[in-house]
Structure 1
């Protein structure tokens, strides 16, 4: 199912291409064969955090230096974002660049995370990590897996919400896959006709772990009741602030390092009232450019909807298949992305 194409120098993202039929029996069977051996029964036992008292406080001078470097000589005054709070001890950004594979274990069409068996997936992701380390030797890379834990569906389901929620056994599998290379985990929510307040508690036990972070996808937040895939959804600053406050409470209660919080975006209406988004020491917000197409279109989307509406940090998605749909399209390189203003500090491969 395709959404209408946008015109001009902006591109459509459709990060959900293939998601609406994500849970077909054929894909489930294929996934079960390759991932059953990775399942664990207690996700909380996978990772432990050092207590706050033992984590080194943030070097504020270094922080200022790094966010200025990411601004890449911006002269508009928008970057780096002014008056942002320094993060709590243990913050990942901007001290490391996060490079992740995205997907769902139920479908090979939703991204590299579900397309390949864990060992092959890690071979491929580690190759991308090395490319980034070579392109920017001064910035260490933190590898991660970005898992769609709630998938927008083309059918209403039992509760009529057009949402497929992944079971704990699937998330536990992802946790163990991440542990293979000391990676962090993002759990992504496509709420469809549900809402973020109802869906966050379903993954709270995972978000209370130190190595688990959050992603939300406005494309599939269907506040008008439309079926996912028929139009592009939206989140307001109020929704983003709710999520950030939720994460901040978990950080405080569980003595955790800051959470990284990614928001997908490739149109203006996907995120409304961005100036009202509140920044917190416990949460690091990444506005993530989620559009696909040729390099100039991707750069145009980044410029219009990420660079021009600054929040805190920025991300950029690369599609192994969709970015190459029209010859002679190609995948953008780390060297090219490092020239963007600001330079993205979170990179996602689908």
Structure 2
């Protein structure tokens, strides 16, 4: 990828530059009298206090990165927006910031105390600052590893063709050329033949004290800012704009003392997403997002009785083993990761009002912890299923908040058993208003954010359109949660497919679930037949 190749050059050019220091020290020309002694001072790096450096204006982003990562610097690299990749390679070589030319650059150079600038694809002219332009390789051809590139007319100050060339064995694309002119340490020829003049005053063996424990996660945009961070000593790790979706980004963030995101565009959520990634906690199947490259195969029921589904037909260890056994045939049918899961009914619709009068029996929390913890150890996801009767979903979910602290636990709302104040179970199919669903989603999203948790799944059970009223108004603005509509009707396959198609009409853009009933379906689909359903289900449960 463009980013990774650019970062590779950053690292390897640094090696080449250090090599040049030792190999040319005996033959390097004496310091020119017009080179100020003050240029020998080193840049001062800083640990950034901003968690996110982002935007679409490359110059503004480069300025913010410089302000965050450097307190001062004797030099800088200034570039045009189109040559950020080349310029980003130089920042780490000289241990200086990389700025994209634009409004505010002069002020930043003054803040840094800059006395020399390397201009890359920029015609910048600065009062009182020695601008060192990039120059093309001279003398016909310049070897860069195994390839050669045509050069331009001879340059009297740096006749590259007459100078010994030392290919860095760590990177055959980089050649260090000993210059013949005054005031230069080395002529660095990068991939493609572009060459850069190195100020003689720079001491490659005596670099700034770099920051420790800082990791920058970046999507590959704003390379000048990335070069600045690398120059200050930060480790650079490629990441999607939502770092929760990358195992590499999560691992890097978890190992860092300070995490900074450098991304294109505006990302109002990325600060808390970085905080979640920095916990290092991953969901079953990897990373911290629910549906990125994953599909779930679940057992449904209650761990305390077999009457509600197959989940209760064996002890905890047997349930974990059976979930894995049921999921295994699906792995050969998709390139996605198959995650075994448990959908546990924690509140059960009841025929009697009970002490609280809500026609729902709330199971004690202690009933569910052993299975939840065993599932987590086995890499299985858990969904808590709610049948609230005359209560409401949010009130019941809040009673089980301590179970939501487990990173691998989500929730399911079962509107079939959401009754009105005068309704009785089994007299009609219940429903839920979309306002109640959205209220639950915001509560759960707030809980996820406040506790630095991975994304949580919200399942909405539905086999009649009326079960979720005004579902086109489902609020999916919170990336802390991910929705799935679960078509959990039973019966003949013709009827089930008709329901599946009807539910998809004018549906919100969510994931989808299918339920296989071992005894009621006529006949029950095989794994191959289940994944042949279109669109392929993201979640399959067995009851």
TM-score normalized with structure 2 length: 0.47
Describe how 1:103-118 pairs up with structure 2 within 5 A: 103-118=301-316
Contact 2:474 2:508 in 1 (8 A): no
How far apart are the structure 2 equivalents of 1:278 and 1:286?
13
* Partner Cα distance (1:195, 1:333) in 2: 36
Following superposition, the deviation at residue 296 of structure 1 comes to: 1.6
**Pairs within 5 Å for 1:290-309:** 290-306=488-504, 308-309=506-507
Moved more, 253-262 or 175-184: 175-184
For the pair shown, the structure with the greater C-alpha radius of gyration is 2
Aligned to 1:149: 346
Aligned to 2:299, which of 96, 101, 106?
Answer: 101
Residue 135 (structure 1) aligns with: 333
Q: Would you say 1:169 and 2:366 are equivalent positions?
A: yes
Segments of 5+ residues of structure 2 without an aligned counterpart are: 1-216, 218-236, 246-267, 278-287
Match of 1:313 in 2: 511
Give the one of 187, 208, 213 matched to 2:384.
Answer: 187
1:342 alignment partner, one of 535, 538, 543: 535
Is contact 1:218-1:264 (8 Å) kept?
yes
Measured after TM superposition, the shift of residue 123 of structure 1 is 3.3
Secondary structure, aligned partner of 1:322: coil
- Which deviations, in whole Å up to 9, do the C-alpha atoms of 1:36-61 show, x marking residues without a partner? xxxxxxxxxxxxxxxxx9x995578x
Partner Cα separation in structure 1 for residue 240 and residue 296 of structure 2: 18
Deviations 1:243-284 (A, max 9, x none): 110111011100111111001110011011111001121110
The separation in 2 between residues aligned to 1:349 and 1:58, in whole angstroms, is 34
- For structure 1, which runs of at least 5 residues remain unmatched after alignment? 1-52, 64-84, 324-328
How many residues in Structure 1 have an aligned counterpart in Structure 2?
268
The answer on whether the counterparts of 2:316 and 2:371 sit within 8 Å (CA) in structure 1 is no
Q: How far apart are the structure 2 equivalents of 1:288 and 1:86? A: 28
**Residue 175 (structure 1) shift:** 1.4
- Residue 306 of structure 1 deviates from its aligned partner by 3.5
Runs of 4+ that moved beyond 4 A: 55-60, 85-89
Tell me the distance in 1 between the aligned counterparts of 2:426 and 2:289.
35
User: Structure 1 CA distance, aligned partners of 2:373 and 2:358?
Assistant: 29
SS of the residue corresponding to residue 144 of structure 1 reads strand
Alignment of 1:206-245 (within 5 A): 206-245=403-442
In the alignment, the residues of structure 2 paired with residue 298 and residue 59 of structure 1 have an alpha-carbon distance, to the nearest angstrom, of 39
Q: How big is each residue's C-alpha offset from its partner over 1:111-142, in whole Å with a ceiling of 9 and x where there is no partner? A: 11112223333333222211110121x01111
Match of 1:277?
474
* CA shift for structure 1 position 344: 1.1
Q: Report the CA distance between 1:340 and its aligned residue.
A: 2.7
Deviation of the 1:321 alpha carbon: 1.4
Pair 1:86–1:58, CA change in 2 (3 A): farther
Once the 2 structures are TM-superposed, how far is the Cα of residue 330 of structure 1 from its aligned partner?
1.9
Q: Whole-Å Cα distance in 1 between the matches of residues 517 and 538 of structure 2?
A: 17
Distance of 1:56 and 1:236 partners within structure 2: 42
Give the TM-score normalised by the residue count of structure 1: 0.71
Cα offset, 1:191, TM superposition: 0.4
For the 8 Å contact 1:132–1:141, the answer to whether it is kept is yes
Alignment CA distance shift 1:286-1:341 (3 Å)? same
Q: What's the CA shift for 1:86? A: 10
| Residue number in structure 1 paired with 2:445 | 248
Aligned residues of 1:306 and 1:314 also touching (Cα < 8 A): no
Local SS of the residue matching 1:214: strand
Deviation at 1:331, TM superposition (A): 1.4
Deviation at 1:180, TM superposition (A): 5.0
Bigger RCO of structures 1 and 2 (CA < 8 A, at least 6 apart): 1
Query: Could you tell me how far 1:176 is from its partner in structure 2?
Result: 3.1
Q: Supply the distance in 1 between the matched residues of 2:367 and 2:238 (Cα, whole angstroms).
A: 34
User: How far apart in 1 are the matches of 2:531 and 2:442?
Assistant: 31
1:331 counterpart (524, 535, 540): 524
**1:94 deviation in Å?**
3.3
Taking a change above 3 Å as real, the CA distance of residues 224 and 161 of structure 1, as seen in their structure-2 partners, is closer
Once superposed, what is the RMSD of the aligned Cα atoms?
A: 2.4
